[in-house]
């Protein structure tokens, strides 16, 4: 079991390091959002008497990096099925659940690495965490968010065999999750319908946990953030493992 998980985890990392454009592309969009929104809306926040918008925005952009990377990890399942690579793995005398766990941990590790790269780059534009010790619990929150989203993306990919349909479905899910997570704006004072949607969004609690650990400000409590993320991570990956075990080859 452990060996299978390790092999699948290592395979995911090798794929990642072989694709340099993937790394560059994955941090390009978050940096664009950070620069455009951070420097563009900072004066508006200052005039409104709010906090430093760049400080507010950075945890949301880190969560955005993890969101896009984790969810699109599932496309590898569709790709491998399309070209027969997945069949070679599934016919092996090993548990499909172990394969799913290894892929999920590999994708989550990649997402955390890219989140840390973006966080490191924000230091060059003036962002500083409330404490350098806070980076450790922030990494833990990154990992929880990554495990949940990678499992979610893999579960969806396990039910799709059309490579063109997968990106469209992902965009349909990713954009609302990002914009309704409190990553770009405070959730206090929102209309009741919008706030209800924000509270239903699992990414909201990941953004809140990152913001709490990195900046010391939060909308809920760390206990609630941890409970939601850990519970959903277990649930989604159990469902994803079941879907993955039902893939026909």
pLDDT tens by residue, 52-70: 788 888 999 999 999 988 8
Question: Residue 183 corresponds to which tokens in the numbers above?
Answer: 């990553």
H/E segment holding residue 107? helix 96-122
Q: At residue 18, does pLDDT exceed 80? A: no
The pTM assigned to this predicted structure is 0.88
What does the pLDDT read at residue 198? 93
What does the pLDDT read at residue 148? 93
Among the listed residues 79, 80, 82, 152, the one whose alpha carbon sits nearest the alpha carbon of residue 111: 152
Which ranges in 19-93 belong to alpha helices (H)? 20-47, 53-72, 75-83, 85-90
What does the pLDDT read at residue 214? 93
Q: At residue 48, does pLDDT exceed 90? A: no
Helices 165-179 and 135-157 sit at what angle, rounded to 10 degrees?
A: 140
Among the listed residues 237, 231, 229, the one whose alpha carbon sits nearest the alpha carbon of residue 158: 237
Determine the Cα–Cα distance for residues 183 and 125; give it in Å rounded to an integer: 18
What mean pLDDT comes out for the span 186-215? Answer: 91
Which band of pLDDT confidence, cut at 50, 70 and 90, is reported for residue 86?
low
Segment 141-176, tens digit of pLDDT: 999 999 999 988 888 888 877 777 777 888 888 889
């Amino acid at each position: 079991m452990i060996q299978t998980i390790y092999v699948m985890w290592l395979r995911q990392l090798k794929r990642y390091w072989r694709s340099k454009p993937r790394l560059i592309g994955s941090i390009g969009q978050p940096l664009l959002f950070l620069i455009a929104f951070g420097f563009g809306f900072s004066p508006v926040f200052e005039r409104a008497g709010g906090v430093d918008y760049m400080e507010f925005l950075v945890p949301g952009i880190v969560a955005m990096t993890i969101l896009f990377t984790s969810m699109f990890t599932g496309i590898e399942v569709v790709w491998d099925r399309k070209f027969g690579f997945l069949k070679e793995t599934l016919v092996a005398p090993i548990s499909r659940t172990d394969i799913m766990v290894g892929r999920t941990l590999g994708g989550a590790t990649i997402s955390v690495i890219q989140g840390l790269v973006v966080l490191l780059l924000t230091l060059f534009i003036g962002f500083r965490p409330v404490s350098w010790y806070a980076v450790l619990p922030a990494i833990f929150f990154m990992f929880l968010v990554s495990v949940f989203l990678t499992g979610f993306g893999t579960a969806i990919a396990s039910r799709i065999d059309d490579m063109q349909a997968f990106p469209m479905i992902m965009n349909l899910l990713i954009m609302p999750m990002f914009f309704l997570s409190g990553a770009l704006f405070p959730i206090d004072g929102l209309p009741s319908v919008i706030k209800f949607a924000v509270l239903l969004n699992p990414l909201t609690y990941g953004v809140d946990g990152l913001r709490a650990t990195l900046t010391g400000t939060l909308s809920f409590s760390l206990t609630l953030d941890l409970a939601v993320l850990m519970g959903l991570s277990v649930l989604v990956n159990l469902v994803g493992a079941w879907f993955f075990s039902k893939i026909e080859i």
